[in-house]
Amino acid sequence: MSATHIDQNPKSNTAHTEFQEKSVVDNREGGHEVVSQQELAIDPQTERRIKRKIDIRLLPMLGSMYTFSLIDRTNVGGARISGLDQTVDLDVGNRASIIILVFYVGYVIFELPSNLVLKKLGAANWLSFLGVAWGLISLGIGLSKNWETVAALRAMLGILEAGLFPGCVYLISAWYRRYEVQKRIAVFFMTASFLSSFSNILAYGLTQIASDPVNDGWKWIFVVEGAITIGISILAWFVIVDFPESSRNKFLSPEEVQVVKNRLLAERGSAEGGKVTWKVIKETVLDWQVWSIATVYMSGSCGTYGFLFFLPIILRNGLGYSQSLSFCLTAPPAALAVVYALGISWAADKYRVRGPFILMHCVLGVVGLCMIGFLNRPTPRYVGSFLGECGTNGLIVTGLAWGQNNVRSDAKRSVTTAIQVMMAAVGGIYSALVFRQQDAPDYVPGLVATGALILLAGALTLITCPLLIKANRQADRGERVIEESPDFRYTW
């Protein structure tokens, strides 16, 4: 037995990490094989301090970029009740659905290639470039004169925004252990969702810059929000740190970097790192549980996009609220969804399960959608938006973490993330197709179709969890090896 020590003095900045190697007998091969199994004993205070430093450096900036990513893709809803429909004749036929749909075509196609570019160029370089580019596109939408130009620019916006979310999720999962991920994803995603919900209030303020806010205010929404995106993205280049081993990693000491790497190595083994090859892509694409969990995530995305795009219109034209009140009333449901998602994420990480929480999200989501679609009085219908947003946002943060938990290698995680976010974009396409202009202002068929997709997520969860539990029990008995590691177990 051998051991290597990095001593920890409570008064110093170094961390105490102990490695132990064990001799493992491989009975299946009939011989002895020495396998290095690194068991780490890290001072808890040191570990908490390092995680806090990573949280502060990583999450606020990624959350800020994703906030304006959401704003720039979903500000169409506020713009439509501020003169966009009349200016570019967007209320003719299915034009409104088309400008939403075209965004997701490029979004689906370019997600995986974008993650591959991120690994090659680095997160700071790539994510900052994407942000500046789509900020310019958003600004250009505000100068558009016809709906065809809006549609073309929205398609380009989808191509550029495709890389941000999977890149952020991949970056977060590269810094934290499996059961630390959901809380961070929840903070990152729900903070962005919450702040972007206030974009409608911001949008209302921006419309007042125009001499005719009701008819021309929409232009200022795109111009100002695009300019803010550009500024944040330039700042991001100086703040974002690629990966623990990156040469840009100056905010941690060498000893702290080693602690981070050792923590990840102890959990993932030598699988951490590695290139995305066609073999890895094939293995990931053929992994049934990746697709099952990605479909769960897709259902949450469909519901969330439905609320972001169409809740202002339902409040304004369906429930009869004024323009200013319709802008303001979109924020409280999103605020409650943040509190709900953070609480659920804490519990899910604590108990290390995902499936039971997914089922709870499904129930909340379906009940909320039914209240919005089938009740008559405005107040109960508005209450339904609180339940619906809690359920759909819960599906997103839990589904994302579940997918990340059930892969071991860094390369497979990159592909899994791209698949998950690609399926989220499919959810956006689905949302654009089922919320049709002819069903305005209540969009009951769209609400029903969204509820059906959430029910599908619940059914898949009921099928997936027992199969994952069965696989874990087979691994416990030595009948199979999961993710090429005898110690790895699926999260269910």
Q: How far apart are CA 271 and CA 153, in angstroms?
A: 40
The answer, yes or no, to whether residue 32 has pLDDT greater than 80, is: no
Residue 480 in this model has a pLDDT that exceeds 50:
yes
Q: What is the mean pLDDT of residues 46-60?
A: 89
pLDDT class of 37 with cuts at 50, 70, 90: very low
Paired sense of beta strands 31-35 and 3-6, if any: unpaired
Task: Among 34-48, 140-154, 207-221, name the one with the lowest average pLDDT.
Answer: 34-48
Pairing of strands 22-26, 31-35: antiparallel
Report yes or no: 293 and 402 within 8 Å, Cβ to Cβ.
Answer: yes
Would the pLDDT of 273 be above 60? no
Residue 254: other Cβ atoms inside 10 A: 10
- Which residues, 6+ apart, have CB-to-CB distance to 384 below 8 Å? 367, 368, 369, 370, 371, 372, 375
Q: Which two tokens stand for residue 291?
A: 């697709």
CB 49 within 8 A of CB 15: no
Q: Which two tokens stand for residue 445?
A: 């068929």
**Residue 417 corresponds to which amino acid?**
T
pLDDT of residue 12: 40
Q: Counting beta carbons within 10 angstroms of the beta carbon of residue 228, is it exposed (0 to 12), middle (13 to 18) or buried (19 or more)?
A: middle
Q: What is the DSSP letter of 146?
A: S
pTM of this prediction exceeds 0.85 = no
Residue with tokens 């009951």: 444
Nearest by Cα to 396 from 350, 436, 430, 362: 362
**Residue 371, pLDDT above cutoff 90:** yes
| Residue partners of 128: CB distance under 8 A and separation at least 6 | 233, 234, 236, 237, 240
Domain 44-243+251-476 annotated CATH 3.40.1280.10: no
Share of the chain above pLDDT 90, in %: 32
Average pLDDT (280-291) is 91
DSSP string, 88-141: HTTTSTTHHHHHHHHHHHHHHHHHHHHHHHHHHH-HHHHHHHHHHHHHHHHHHH
CA distance 79 to 219: 8
Q: Radius of gyration (Cα) for the chain, nearest Å? A: 24
Q: What is the mean pLDDT of residues 86-95?
A: 84
Residues 6+ apart with CB under 8 A from 443: 310, 313, 314, 318, 373, 435, 436
Q: What share of the chain is helix, strand, coil (3-state, %, to 5)?
A: 75, 5, 20
From the list 199, 100, 236, 85, the residue with the least C-alpha distance to 158 is 100
Q: What's the pLDDT score for residue 23?
A: 32
What pLDDT is recorded for position 8? 38
- What pLDDT does residue 27 have? 32
Q: Is 482 helix (H, G, I), strand (E, B) or coil?
A: strand
The pLDDT of residue 294 is 94
For 400, counting Cβ atoms within 10 Å of its Cβ (0-12 exposed, 13-18 middle, 19+ buried), the class is buried
State the pLDDT at residue 469: 95
**8-state DSSP, 80:** I
431's tokens: 């949302």
Instruction: State pLDDT tens for residues 389-405.
Output: 999 999 998 998 898 88
What whole-number distance in Å separates Cα of residue 306 and Cα of residue 435? 8
Greatest Cα pair distance in the chain: 83
Please identify which residue in the block is written with the tokens 């339940």: 387
Reduce the DSSP state of residue 240 to 3 states and report it: coil
Residue 172 tokens read as: 């977060």
Could you tell me which residue, 382 or 166, shows the higher pLDDT?
Answer: 382
207's tokens: 């419309």
Cβ neighbour number for residue 311 with a 10 Å cutoff: 26
Distance of alpha carbon 281 from alpha carbon 332, whole angstroms: 41
**Domain residues of the chain, as ranges?**
44-243+251-476
Among 100-104, 326-330, 346-350, the least confident range: 326-330
pLDDT recorded at residue 21 = 35
**What confidence tens digit (pLDDT) does each residue in 428-467 have?**
889 888 888 788 788 899 999 999 999 999 999 999 999 9
pLDDT (tens digit, 9 = 90+) per residue, 110-165? 877 887 888 788 889 999 999 999 999 999 999 998 999 999 999 999 999 988 98
Indicate the helix (H) or strand (E) that contains 269: none
Query: How much is the pLDDT for 268?
Result: 62
Q: Are 44 and 165 in contact (CB under 8 A)?
A: no
> Does pLDDT of 16 surpass 60?
no
Among 102, 73, 103, 98, residue whose Cα is nearest residue 88: 98
